[in-house]
Amino acid sequence: MGRITWNLRQRTLGMIIFSLLLLLGMIVTGIVIGDDKLAINPDAMNQEPSLDHLFGTDWLGRDMLARTLKGLALSFFVGLLAASSSAMIALTFTLIASWNRALDRIVTWLIDLFLSVPHLVLLLLISFAIGGGFKGVVIGLALTHWPSLTRILRAEMLQVKTAHYVHLSKQLGKTPIWIARRHILPHLLPQLFIGFLLLFPHAILHEAAISFLGFGLPAEQPSIGIILSESMRYLSTGKWWLAVFPGLSLLLMVLLFDTLGQHIRKWVDPFHGQKGV
Amino acid sequence: MRFKKAIRYIIGKLIKLAVLLLAVSILSFILVSNSPVDPIQSYIGADMTRVSPEQRQSIAEYWGLHEPPVQRFLHWGKNLLQGDMGTSLIYRSPVSSIIAERFVASLALMSLAWVLSGLFGFLLGIIAGMKEGTWIDKIIKGYCFTLASTPAFWLGLVLLILFSVWLGWLPIGLSTPAGILADEVSLLERIRHLILPVLTLSIVGVPHIALHTRQKLIEVLNSEYVRFAKAKGELGFTLLWNHGLRNISLPAISVHFASFGELFGGAVLAEQVFSYPGLGQAVVQAGLSGDVPLLLGIALCSTIFVFIGNSIADILYKAIDPRMRRGDL
């Protein structure tokens, strides 16, 4: 029996399906888990990881695995909202920048402005302005993740704009809106989709960070950031499982999203995909 | 001629900085003054019920809260230009002195971590790049991708569990041991409290620089002049020394300088985990308790910090690459 050898395209597709399935599994179980699993259970307080409670239990006897999965599902929704709004902002700005030189300058300046404040500090300021909570996190994440994607999209847009057919369209008297819609937008869509997928891991990590610092989701939500910041109070007494497993699960989810994004990029755009790391 | 160019470049940069600071201060002022967090309530805290409306009124008047936002902004801006950043509500002392004091602590943390992550990242990048495609390369790449997905604060927590709780080698938090006056803390104790935050921040900083170096080195190794050098019989370390290092080291340093923003963000998290009294911890405290002057002060300071990093990166790029110099200096 010969060893099955897969070519790069098949392997890439395999990785895409693999990470997609794992992610789906994580998110769906997170959604399906009922609130009864999160109930306080005084009989099983502070238990170490065992077969009954794979991730152990916390100081109220809640199962950490259930809390972690719930938290991951929550992270996913926050990430989804934030990344899609960020991608929309990026697309809008790119199309605005395609209009003329002056608008392009303004957009570039805005990108530089947003990148000049440390990301976390800006997130903190926005979250503070909105008063924290779910809304604060989502708006904060959406307003701080667009600059890098806008840069990529703008570069793509500038390239398309120099193409012959765009010049021809212009000479035929087409309006900038027509050119933006018919010529530029279709070229931006693949980049936009991949950019959106690659924003996901960033958004999720930042959500956890800002919740950890106490500006994000309210404390009663089972978010990973909250779980980790709560665990800090119990670490010195040796309850390592409160921090290790939830964080590890978050790492896994972010890693899977990153892998998914990178491989989809490789798959749709083999030339750039293989050049990049 | 060159001198003139340099002067023009510096003046241009300074104007850019001024515009940037103006924009950032307006932006952050708008954000902060729209916050539903009531500064008086967070100032007084639990004693809120004991404060009469008249007292509230007088506090608001004392802080100038009854004025319209534009006027408050102008007032704040005028004082800022004179070097007065206001008084912090939680620390009850001038913002500038708090920032100065905390910045020193943060700088020690960030600069150590910056140097360490730069060295390790560069080294790992070179190893991976030289051995492209081998299992060493794959391990380093996998390690970097995993680290890039690691939440910095979680890594800090894991290190804390490992070294402080289980092994008991290092203290759990605070930059000084409890119960001792700040002046009497020995240098050794300070260093002991610095190790874990620095370690966390260094580990988090590695992947970016390592992957960048690897990519650059692979590009260099695929170039014509390296092929020629190989044809002459140069191999391994000599090849790297003669043709590789010079081409990859300066871009790597530039990239590393341009990462000051992420460094600052990482420091905020690391300081929070290890309760290290730096700028990052102060900004979190300020945000949580509605200390607006301190929040604004730190936002501006961190902007300057990032700007300096980016400017150095920019200058280095120009110094390395004549093509960029010709462009727009």
Instruction: Kindly indicate the confidence band of residue B120, based on its pLDDT and cuts at 50, 70 and 90.
Output: very high
Rounded CA gap, B24 and B38, in Å? 22
Q: Is the interface score ipTM higher than 0.85?
A: no
Q: What percent of chain B has pLDDT over 70?
A: 83
**Tokens 């408050």 found at:** B72
Q: How far apart are the first and last CA of chain A?
A: 34
Closest C-alpha among B216, B239, B249 to residue B319: B249
Q: Which residues pair with B94 in a beta bridge?
A: B87
Q: Rounded to 5, what percent of chain B is helix, strand, coil?
A: 80, 0, 20
SS3 B289: coil
| Per-residue model confidence as pLDDT tens digits over B183-192 | 555 667 777 7
* DSSP one-letter string for chain A: -PPP---HHHHHHHHHHHHHHHHHHHHHHHHHS-GGGGS--GGGTTPPS-SSSTT-B-TT--BHHHHHHHHHHHHHHHHHHHHHHHHHHHHHHHHHHTT-HHHHHHHHHHHHHHHHS-HHHHHHHHHHHHTSHHHHHHHHHHHHSHHHHHHHHHHHHHHHHTSHHHHHHHHTT--HHHHIIIIIHHHHHHHHHHHHHHHHHHHHHHHHHHHHHTSSS-TTS--HHHHHHHHHHHHTTT-THHHHHHHHHHHHHHHHHHHHHHHHHHHH-HHHHHH--
- Cβ-defined contact of B27 to A113 (cutoff 8 Å): yes
| B329: DSSP letter | -
Is A46 inside a domain boundary?
no
Is A52 inside a domain boundary?
no
Q: What's residue B43's pLDDT? A: 66
Is A169 inside a domain boundary?
yes
Our CA-based measurement puts residue B288 at a distance from the nearest CA of chain A, in whole angstroms, of 7
Report whether A37 contacts A68 (CB < 8 A).
Answer: no
- Cβ-defined contact of B307 to A231 (cutoff 8 Å): no
| B36: DSSP letter | S
- Cβ-defined contact of A117 to B146 (cutoff 8 Å): no
- Cβ-defined contact of B283 to A121 (cutoff 8 Å): yes
Q: Which of A115, A121, A209 sits opposite B153 (nearest CB)?
A: A209
- What range defines the domain where residue A194 resides? 2-35+63-275
Rounded CA gap, B311 and B317, in Å? 10
**Tokens 């930042």 found at:** A206
The CATH number linked to A182 is 1.10.3720.10
Taking each helix axis from N to C end, the angle separating B292-320 and A101-116, rounded to the nearest 10 degrees, works out to: 110
Query: What token pair was written down for B291?
Result: 């200390």
| B47: DSSP letter | G
Q: What's residue B184's pLDDT? A: 56
- Cβ-defined contact of A124 to B287 (cutoff 8 Å): yes
In this prediction, residues B239-243 reach a mean pLDDT of 78
Query: What token pair was written down for B79?
Result: 């004082």
Rounded CA gap, A255 and B154, in Å? 15
Rounded CA gap, A143 and A158, in Å? 24
Mean pLDDT of chain B: 80
Rounded CA gap, A86 and A198, in Å? 11
- Cβ-defined contact of B37 to A243 (cutoff 8 Å): no
Mind listing the pLDDT tens digit of every residue in chain A (277 residues)? 456 777 778 888 888 888 889 888 888 888 887 776 677 766 666 667 776 667 777 777 677 788 888 888 888 888 889 999 999 999 999 988 888 888 999 999 999 888 888 888 888 888 888 877 888 888 989 998 899 899 889 988 888 888 888 888 888 888 888 888 888 888 888 888 888 888 888 898 898 888 888 887 777 777 888 888 888 777 767 677 778 888 888 888 888 888 888 888 888 776 665 554 4
Number of separate domains in chain A: 1
Enumerate chain A positions whose Cβ falls within 8 A of a Cβ in B.
112-113, 115-121, 124-131, 201, 205, 208-209, 212-215, 228, 231-232, 235-236, 238, 240, 243-244, 247, 250-251, 254-255, 258-259, 277
Closest C-alpha among A2, A55, A62, A73 to residue A37: A62
Q: Which of A120, A131, A209 sits opposite B35 (nearest CB)?
A: A131
| Per-residue model confidence as pLDDT tens digits over B267-294 | 998 888 888 888 888 888 888 887 888 8
Q: How far apart are the first and last CA of chain B?
A: 12
Q: What angle do CA B299, B304, B309 make, to 5 degrees?
A: 125
The values of phi and psi at residue B94, to 5°, are -55, 140
- Cβ-defined contact of A212 to B310 (cutoff 8 Å): no
Q: What percent of chain B has pLDDT over 90?
A: 6
Q: Which of A128, A235, A258 sits opposite B145 (nearest CB)?
A: A258
* B319 CB-near residues (< 8 Å, 6+ apart): B250, B325
Is A115 inside a domain boundary?
yes
**Tokens 């001038």 found at:** B94
Burial code (b: 16+ CB inside 10 Å, e: under 16) for A184-202 equals bbeebeebbebbbbbbbbb
Q: What angle do CA B283, B286, B291 make, to 5 degrees?
A: 140
Rounded CA gap, A197 and A47, in Å? 37
Q: What angle do CA A146, A152, A158 make, to 5 degrees?
A: 120
Is A54 inside a domain boundary?
no
Is A141 inside a domain boundary?
yes
SS3 B84: coil
Number of Cβ within 10 Å of residue A94's Cβ equals 28
Query: What token pair was written down for B270?
Result: 């690391």
Is A184 inside a domain boundary?
yes
Lowest mean pLDDT among A180-189, B74-83, B257-266: B74-83
Q: What's residue A277's pLDDT? A: 40
Is A53 inside a domain boundary?
no
